[in-house]
Amino acid sequence: MKYKGIIFDLDGVICSTDKYHYKAWKKIADQLEIPFDEEMNDKLRGVSRMESLELILQNGEKVYSNGDKQTLAEAKNLYYQKLLKQMSSKDLSEVVQNTLYALKRKGLLLGIGSSSKNTKLILERIGLLNFFDCISDGTMIERSKPDPEVFLKAAKLLKLLPAECLVVEDASAGAEAAYKGGFDCAGIKAAREYSHITYQLDHFEDLITYIEDEYE
């Protein structure tokens, strides 16, 4: 096997929480009368909560204090968490679930590398809280993607070197983090177009092919 472990991004790879992030940020942006649409929301993939807020506020005219920013980020998160309660095992697609179990059966170590501080809540909603061999998330890092910290921490928890792991990402910030950390990366959605991507994933289940030694 080409790799000993696979580290998955969560939002946009294992499940889709973007619609909930969008709804929650939209509510905040509307209150502040700042323009915000789905295209802008796409730019927040893999970016931490506070950095996402900063990007949104850049489109307005007012200057906010750190205290105001904290309050806004908390309000967004409370509403986002309320929306996450709608999630269930139905939000885990059959393809993702079957692929994850097939990879596990091959003896690979599987981990999560997500910027989200809600990672455990989301994994619990979709029924995967106890599935992964490690969880590295936004609660454990100081620098968010494109810094490689979250993936380096995941590799360390798996007791593997970056060169022994494949990262799976949907965001270019995440693909860049993988590259900077010395990981190969399989990219879906926007991450497919990142310049240093190792594999462009058309279908999630194609991962099974890419981890085999003979794949070039």
Please enumerate in sequence order all residues whose Cβ is within 8 A of that of 216, keeping only pairs 6 or more positions apart, or say none. none
Distance CA 140, CA 88 (A): 25
H/E run at residue 109:
strand 109-113
CB of 137 to ligand B16, least distance (A): 8
Q: Is 187 in the site for Mg ion (CB under 5 A)?
A: no
Could you say which of ligand B16, Mg ion, none residue 172 binds, taking C-beta under 5 to 8 angstroms by partner kind? none
Distance CA 14, CA 99 (A): 11
Binding residue for ligand B16, selected from 11, 133, 147, 184, defined by CB under 6 A: 11
Q: Confirm whether 37 is a catalytic residue.
A: no
Backbone angles phi, psi at 202, to 5 degrees: -85, -40
Q: Confirm whether 184 is a catalytic residue.
A: no
Q: Is 10 in the site for ligand B16 (CB under 6 A)?
A: yes
Whichever of 121 and 208 has its CB closer to ligand B16, that residue is 121
Which amino acid belongs to residue 197?
I
User: Alpha carbon of 58 to those of 40, 51, 64: distances in Å?
Assistant: 12, 11, 10
Q: Is 147 in the site for ligand B16 (CB under 6 A)?
A: no
Could you say which of Mg ion, ligand B16, none residue 49 binds, taking C-beta under 5 to 8 angstroms by partner kind? ligand B16
Residue 118 tokens, joined: 């809600």
Q: What would the x/- binding string for ligand B16 be over residues 167 to 196, using CB under 6 A?
A: ----x-------------------------
Of the candidates 193, 164, 195, 194, the residue with the CA atom closest to the CA atom of residue 181: 164
Interaction site with ligand B16 (CB under 6 A):
9-12, 21, 44-49, 52, 77, 114-118, 138, 171
Active site members: 9, 11
